[in-house]
Amino acid sequence: MARAPFELAGTRVATGSRTQIDVPVARLYTHAPLYIPVEVVHGRQSGPVMLVCGGIHGDEINGVEIVRRLLRSKQLQGLRGTLIASPIVNVFGFVQHSRYLPDRRDLNRCFPGSESGSLGGRVAALFREQIVDHATHIIDLHTGAIHRTNLPQIRAQLTPGGETERMANAFGAPVILNAELREGSLRHYAQNRGIPVLTYEAGEALRFDQWAITPGVRGVLRVMRRLGMLTGEHRRRQVPAAEVANGSSWARAPIDGILRPQVRLGARVAEGELLGLVADPFGNAEGEVRSVADGIVIGMSRLPLANEGEALFHIARFDAIEEAESAIEDFHSSLEPPPDALY
């Protein structure tokens, strides 16, 4: 029996074909329409429906490039199931180079949304109804916030032996952060509906970080292969081992001033170790930023200017820190070419 067409936002996608769909979301003040761009690849054989989305935060653009490269991959030939690729969800923020919507709301705190609510609630409701609710599995692509960079990592709520854990292990990021769900996030909404979802965090807002994009594309393809959506084995690169962090903490600025980092992203640090120095422009006052735990630096500020109390270094804690350090080293060595801007 022939597989039925896939329908999304009123558009039918024939079996064995791919279609780009513009989902109407709102209008600008000028009356010009805005759309959430989506491409659907509908395989000839049945299988999972994978949603890969980027740009829920409009300034986090690494995900846009990950989706573009994913859609150009020859591995999608012979796809089993259906791929829904949405490179830019928050089109308002993307156009304005902003994390937020025009009403200053964070779209990733607006789910499940409301058709009669705020702008954020309405966009969340539209994206949920027209796109998210079709998915059986989700990979949500993010970067660090503005002026912060993240080591490639997966954030997910893990259940031993569950589908989310299986996806996280398949992705191949060096670090998996077993993170609690945040109310209003896409991950919170999807997970509560029984849809396994990964959040991939890597790089910095408003820039393309090749050392974050390339592993992102590979990771999505690995997950699709693990789910049986792609045929054959991809043996050119062994999947890097990942270590699960059992928690994380931020080291903060002790005073107002200018930061001079003393460690790199991905570095192993000990509790109390010096991470950076914050000083006033004259050097009259200087404060030390020290690690709050033994762990790995998985995120850090890229802006030298710091206010007292500002989060500067994100430290992930591991039960087996030597294995975590080894996983990160293996991840770095697997990149082609090696990363040259990890800090």
- pLDDT higher at 335 or 49: 49
CB atoms within 10 A of CB 272: 12
Half-sphere exposure of 184 (CA within 13 A, CB side): 10
Residue 198 in contact with residue 154, Cβ under 8 Å? yes
Q: What is the mean pLDDT of residues 97-125?
A: 96
**Does position 231 have pLDDT exceeding 60, yes or no?**
yes
Q: What average pLDDT is seen over the chain?
A: 93
pLDDT digits (tens, 9 = 90+) for 289-329: 999 999 999 999 999 999 999 999 999 999 878 878 888 88
- Residue 236: the pLDDT is 55
Q: Pinpoint the residues of the chain covered by CATH 2.40.50.100.
A: 248-321
- Residues forming beta bridges with residue 154, ordered by sequence position: 176, 200
Q: Which two tokens stand for residue 217?
A: 């594309």
> In the predicted model, is pLDDT for residue 343 greater than 50?
no
pLDDT confidence tier of residue 338, bands split at 50, 70 and 90: very low
In angstroms, the CA 102 to CA 104 distance is 5
Q: Helices (H), strands (E): how many in the chain?
A: 7, 19
Instruction: Give the containing element (helix H, strand E) for 39.
Output: strand 33-42
Residues of the chain with CATH 3.40.630.10: 6-227
pLDDT at 340: 42
pLDDT on residue 342: 38
User: Which one has a higher pLDDT value, 276 or 3?
Assistant: 276
Q: What does the alpha-carbon distance between residue 210 and residue 334 come to, in Å, rounded to a whole number?
A: 13
Tokens of 5: 């067409």
- Asked if residues 174 and 243 have their Cβ atoms less than 8 Å apart, the reply is yes
- How much of the chain exceeds pLDDT 90, in percent? 85
CATH fold, domain 6-227, is Aminopeptidase (3.40.630)
Structure token digits, residue 148: 């912060």
Over residues 241-294, the pLDDT tens digits come to: 788 998 999 999 999 999 999 999 999 999 999 999 999 999 899 999 999 999
Q: What is the pTM of this model?
A: 0.93
Q: Can you tell me the distance from the alpha carbon of 200 to that of 186, in angstroms, rounded to the nearest whole number?
A: 13
The CATH code of domain 248-321 reads 2.40.50.100
User: Could you give the 3-state DSSP secondary structure of residue 279?
Assistant: strand
For residue 169, the SS3 value is helix
Distance separating alpha carbons of residues 172 and 152, to the nearest angstrom: 10
Annotate 52-110 with DSSP letters as a single string: EE--SSTT--HHHHHHHHHHH-GGGTT-EEEEEEES-S-HHHHHHT-SS-TTS--GGGS
Q: What is the pLDDT of residues 137-158, one digit of tens each?
A: 999 999 999 999 999 999 999 9
The CA distance from 342 to 333, in Å, is: 13
Cα separation, 309 vs 251, in Å, equals 9
Torsion of CA 238, 244, 250, 251, to 10 degrees: -70
Answer whether the bond into residue 112 is a cis peptide, omega within 30°: yes
- Has residue 30 got a pLDDT over 80? yes
User: Looking at the predicted structure, is the pLDDT value of residue 341 above 50?
Assistant: no
User: What is the pLDDT averaged over residues 20-43?
Assistant: 95
